[in-house]
């Protein structure tokens, strides 16, 4: 049995009002008191939707006036520290589950009135055997990692086990009656790539590998029905989607936007799936650690939310999304940096961003009262000196984000950061906060010689590594891919 990592604070429990068309009775003989919760998976989260007390006969009954959405649901026991087991909600929604203990892998569990759960429990027990054997082999792999023969033997067994499991999944899909279970098992199936023999003396092995990759990517979703919202309430769909978006396709913003829109199009006939996919893609940039992914947010927001296609979003949310787009779009990686004119320097001279003539320009927005700035700006200054010493043509425009000169001048003097261009927008004419989304400091941008943004929200060390790598690439010290 498992214990679920749910924070069951009352204000965080999502409670739905159901109508009468489901009645689910749960009885675990080893647990005869306390509250029992009914929950479900949704994306990468789990939600509690109903609560029932165990009655004198040992049953906890969940009932309502509306059918539940299909999927994998959780039955959680408060008195057992939220230990839980899974049940399947499909077409049969008036049924009972009875078992002796919470470990139903060792004890019989009976499902009355539900072919979905009879088949689900049998499937889980059989599939678990593959997991146990795989775990054993993985452990052995680590144990004998220095023995080449053992490693090869274990790899061969893992490969054979994987193929055996795939056959088991294929057979399950064709043999079970439960449509919900079919949908779940189809999520678990992987695509078999046709065999392509690569001659040892082939000079074009990479092209053959690319054929295999393209086949796998093209057919990745072959078994998945995006018109079936059942798959949302499983623990399998979101990891599969995440794997596709982060490991299978190329990690470039334009590629992710293209592939995301194709998946949204697949889900268009199912409102619940459509909403999930649009929301998933909107939040993709926040989940990604890669620079430049905010372009995904902007494109999805403009295509679906700002054109009225996200009908579930109220006016308040649309307004917030619109505001975020306005702050983000002007400073996307690849865009020409918005010009900043008549910025005043410490010695009362005026400068414009596009007047700087150098191979690279670093824009650093900062203020001396910011704790992080106190560390990062002096560090950036040392990076600047190191880059200049290496012969890299870079200039820094360090922009003070406040108005009072005294703390600014004091910090510059104390830290001796005088060789680069220290400026500020004395009368706040440039609108730099909106143009560069400066609502936290420090905020560092990197521009090329044409003032195109090639990096943003960087740390000082990242600036150094980035420019040294580009310099080596230009000199041919790093081979181009």
For residue range 422-433, list pLDDT tens digits in order.
999 999 999 999
Mean pLDDT of the chain: 91
Q: What is the pLDDT of residues 247-272, one digit of tens each?
A: 999 999 999 999 999 999 999 999 99
Whether 132 has a pLDDT exceeding 70, the answer reads yes
Predicted local distance difference test score (pLDDT) of residue 210? 87
pLDDT for 300-345, tens place per residue?
A: 999 999 999 999 999 999 999 999 999 999 999 999 999 999 999 9
**Helix-strand-coil percent breakdown of the chain, rounded to 5?**
45, 20, 35
Beta bridge partners of 345: 423
List the chain domain ranges: 2-113, 121-188, 205-331, 343-474
Residue 29 is encoded by which pair of tokens?
Answer: 């003989």
Confidence band (pLDDT; 50, 70, 90) for 452? very high
Handedness of CA 347, 350, 352, 355 (dihedral sign): negative
**Partners of 343 in the β-ladder:** 351
What integer pLDDT is reported at residue 474 of this predicted model?
A: 81
With CA atoms as reference, report the closest residue to 282 among 261, 255, 308. Answer: 261
What are the tens digits of pLDDT across the range 135-187?
A: 999 888 888 888 888 888 999 999 999 999 999 999 999 999 999 999 999 99
d(CA 116, CA 282): 34
Query: Is residue 359 within 8 Å of 321, Cβ to Cβ?
Result: no
Rounded to whole angstroms, the Cα distance separating 473 from 299 reads 31
Residue 78 tokens read as 């408060």
At 472 the pLDDT is 85
CATH level 3 topology of 2-113? Immunoglobulin-like (2.60.40)
- CA–CA separation, 104 vs 110, rounded Å? 10
Predicted confidence at residue 144, as pLDDT, reads 82
Q: Is the pTM of this model over 0.95?
A: no
pLDDT score recorded for residue 105: 61
Contacts of 44-48 with C-beta under 8 Å, sequence gap 24+, read: 44/238, 44/239, 44/242, 46/4, 46/6, 46/74, 47/13, 47/14, 48/6, 48/8, 48/13, 48/14, 48/15, 48/76
CATH number of 343-474: 3.40.30.10
Q: Which residue do the tokens 């989304």 mark?
A: 437
pLDDT > 70: percent of the chain: 92
144 vs 437, higher pLDDT: 437
């Amino acid at each position: 049995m498992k214990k679920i990592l749910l924070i069951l604070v009352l204000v965080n429990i999502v409670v739905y009002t159901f109508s009468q068309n489901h009645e689910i009775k749960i009885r675990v003989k080893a647990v005869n008191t306390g509250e029992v919760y009914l929950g479900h998976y949704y994306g990468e989260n789990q939600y509690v939707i109903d609560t029932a007390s165990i009655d004198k006969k040992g049953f906890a009954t969940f009932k309502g006036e509306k059918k539940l959405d299909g999927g994998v649901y959780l039955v959680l026991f408060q008195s057992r520290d939220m230990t839980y087991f899974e049940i399947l909600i499909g077409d049969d929604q008036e049924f009972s589950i009875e078992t002796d203990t919470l470990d139903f892998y060792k004890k019989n569990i009976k499902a009355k009135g539900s072919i979905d759960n009879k088949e689900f429990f049998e499937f889980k027990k059989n599939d678990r055997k593959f997991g146990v054997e795989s775990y054993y082999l993985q452990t052995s792999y680590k144990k004998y990692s220095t023995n080449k023969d053992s490693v090869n033997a274990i790899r061969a067994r893992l490969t054979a086990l994987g193929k055996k499991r795939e056959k088991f999944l294929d057979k399950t899909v064709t043999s079970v009656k439960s449509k919900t279970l079919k949908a779940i098992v189809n999520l678990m199936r992987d695509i078999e790539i046709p065999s392509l023999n690569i001659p040892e003396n082939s000079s074009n092995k990479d092209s053959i590998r690319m054929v295999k990759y393209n086949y796998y990517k093209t057919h990745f979703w072959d078994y998945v029905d995006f018109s079936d919202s059942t798959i949302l309430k499983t623990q399998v769909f979101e990891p599969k989607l995440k794997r596709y978006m982060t490991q299978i396709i190329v990690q470039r913003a334009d590629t992710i936007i293209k592939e995301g829109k194709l998946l949204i199009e697949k889900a268009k006939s199912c409102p619940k799936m459509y909403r999930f996919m649009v929301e998933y893609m909107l939040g993709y940039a926040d989940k990604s650690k890669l620079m430049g992914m905010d372009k995904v947010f902007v494109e999805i927001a403009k295509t679906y939310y700002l054109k009225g296609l996200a009908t579930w979003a109220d006016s308040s949310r649309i307004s917030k999304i619109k505001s975020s787009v306005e702050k983000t779009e002007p400073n996307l990686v690849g865009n020409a940096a918005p010009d900043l004119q008549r910025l005043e320097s410490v010695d009362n001279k005026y400068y414009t961003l596009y007047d700087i003539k150098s191979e690279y320009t670093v824009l650093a927005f900062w203020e001396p009262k910011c704790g992080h700035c106190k560390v990062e700006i002096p560090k950036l200054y040392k990076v600047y000196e190191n880059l200049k010493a290496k012969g890299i043509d870079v200039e820094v425009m360090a922009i003070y984000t406040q108005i009072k000169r005294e703390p600014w001048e004091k910090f510059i003097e104390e830290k001796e950061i005088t060789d680069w261009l220290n400026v500020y927008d004395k009368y706040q004419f440039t609108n730099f906060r909106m143009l560069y989304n400066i609502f936290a400091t420090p905020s560092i941008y990197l521009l090329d010689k044409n003032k195109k943004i090639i990096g943003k929200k960087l740390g000082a060390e990242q600036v150094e590594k980035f420019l040294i790598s580009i310099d080596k690439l230009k000199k041919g010290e790093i081979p181009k891919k």
